[in-house]
Every structure is written in structure tokens, then in C-alpha cells.
Amino acid sequence: MRGNSLKGMTKVYRNGFFKGFGMAMLVSYLFYRHLLFSLLVSTGYGIFHIFKEKREYWKKQQNEINLEFREGLLGIAAALGAGYAMENALGEARKDLILLYGEDAVLVREFLRMEKQLELNQPLEKVFLEFSERWQTEDIGHFVKVFQTAKRTGGDMISITRLSAEKISEKIEVTREIHTMIAGKRMEGRIMNIIPLAMILYFWLTSPGFLDCLYQASGRGVMTVLLSLYLIAFYWSQRISTIQV
């Protein structure tokens, strides 16, 4: 598990740096046409972009475990209905998850980790709480709170797990519908972000020397203003298309 995690993070660092470096190199060179300056800016942005890539990777992992958690809860509910204790129901649910997502699935590894903690006689509530704190997702957090309350008051765990799975399913469907509705607008935003860069490149290729005045000392200020406006528009296009459910 640790090897897979280390490999995944190494890929995140590598991809994050080179994606940021490539984007910054393209934009800065088109706006300033100064190789050394572009290299310095691109290296700095590449390092910064690593943190952005880590956040995106973490969000992707959270979305993935939320999707798997729905199936995990259904597996736990089925095992509880068959007479298993919660401690053993985790193992049964993990077997179902392996069939659905494979042994490398995020929740499969988490359930295995939780089982090992229980084998060391750790309290069930503490194991679930640590699981919730590791992932910090709303769905898992709500379930753990309800689970802890039901455990203390003797609530119906089968109904609670099934109801939690249903609520997560509803949220996932709403999220998918929203993403489908705004997918076209996101594509339009990407195209609009590319057009200014494509126009500069077009003038470079078809009319060499036409933009030379903007790359002299007197034109640097104009290009800086244009670049600032472009970056603001790019930032807002990203924010507008990002909707939290």
C-alpha cells in the first residue's frame, strides 16, 4: 500500500512540475519572447503548480473513495443483515469491493487497514473516527457521527448504513448531473483561454515582425497589462466552472 502511495505521489510531483513548467513557458514566451526570463518564470511556476496538482490529486482521491464508500456501506449492511458483527462486516464488505474495484482500490486498502487496527483491539468507534479524519469528506464524516451515536444508543445499524448509502448515491447523481450540464461551458472556457495565445502565435507565423514593437522596452508594459488581463480571465473561467455540491 505504501509503495503504491509513494509511486502515486512521485507521479503527482513529476506531472505537476512539468505541466506547470510547460504552460508557463508557453504563455511567458508568447507574451515576452525572452528565453531566460521565461525559463525562470516557468521554473518558479512549475514548483508552485506541484501544490495545485497535489490538491487536485487529493480531491480526486476523495471523490473516488466517496464513490466506493457507497458500495462499502451496502456491503456492510448486507453483512450485518446476515448476522455478522460490525468488526467482521468490514472484511465481508472488503471482499465485495475487491470484486467491484480490484485490490488496489482506495477503500479496499482503508478497510484492510481498519481490520488490522481492530485485530490490535482498538475500539471500533476510534477506528472509524480515524478513518474519517484521514479523508475529511462530508459523507464519511456524517456517517461516522451517526454511527458513533447509534453505537452508544443501540440504534439499528443496518438501516443506518443503508440510509447513508442512499444519501450518498443521491448526492453522487446530483453531482454527475451538474457536471454534465456544465461540461459544454467548460469546453467553451478552454477554447476561449486558448484563442489569445493562438492569435499571437498566428501573427508570429503569418506576419513575422508585425508584433516586434510589443517586444521592445516600450511595449513590455502593454504586454504585461494584456498578460494580467488574460490571467484574470483565465482564473475566473476556472472559478465559474467549479461547483461544489
- Alpha-carbon gap, residue 130 to 144, rounded angstroms: 10
Name the helix (H) or strand (E) containing 148.
helix 138-153
Residue identified by cell 484492510 is 112
Residue 216 within any structural domain of the chain: no
For the four alpha carbons of 69, 71, 72 and 76, in that order, the dihedral sign comes to positive
Q: Are 73 and 143 in contact (CB under 8 A)?
A: yes
Per-residue pLDDT at 245: 56
- Alpha-carbon gap, residue 90 to 127, rounded angstroms: 12
Residue 199 within any structural domain of the chain: no
Higher pLDDT among residues 165 and 1, named by residue:
165
- Per-residue pLDDT, averaged over 159-176, amounts to 83
First to last CA, the chain: 30
Residue 20 within any structural domain of the chain: no
Per-residue pLDDT at 30: 93
Lowest model confidence (mean pLDDT) among 8-12, 67-71, 87-91, 135-139: 8-12
Beta-strand ranges (E) seen in 31-169 are none
Residue 44 within any structural domain of the chain: no
Length of the chain: 245
CA 204 to chain centre: 37
Whether pLDDT at 195 is above 70: yes
Residue 194 within any structural domain of the chain: no
Domains: count for the chain: 1
Q: Which of helix, strand or coil describes residue 97?
A: helix
Residue 230 within any structural domain of the chain: no
Structural domain range at position 88:
65-172
- Per-residue pLDDT, averaged over 92-117, amounts to 92
Whether pLDDT at 236 is above 60: yes
- Per-residue pLDDT, averaged over 118-123, amounts to 90
**Position 6 confidence tier, pLDDT thresholds 50, 70, 90:** low
Residue 228 within any structural domain of the chain: no
Q: Could you tell me the pTM of the whole model? A: 0.74
- Over the chain, what is the mean pLDDT? 87
Per-residue pLDDT at 1: 43
Residue 84 within any structural domain of the chain: yes
Whether pLDDT at 200 is above 70: yes
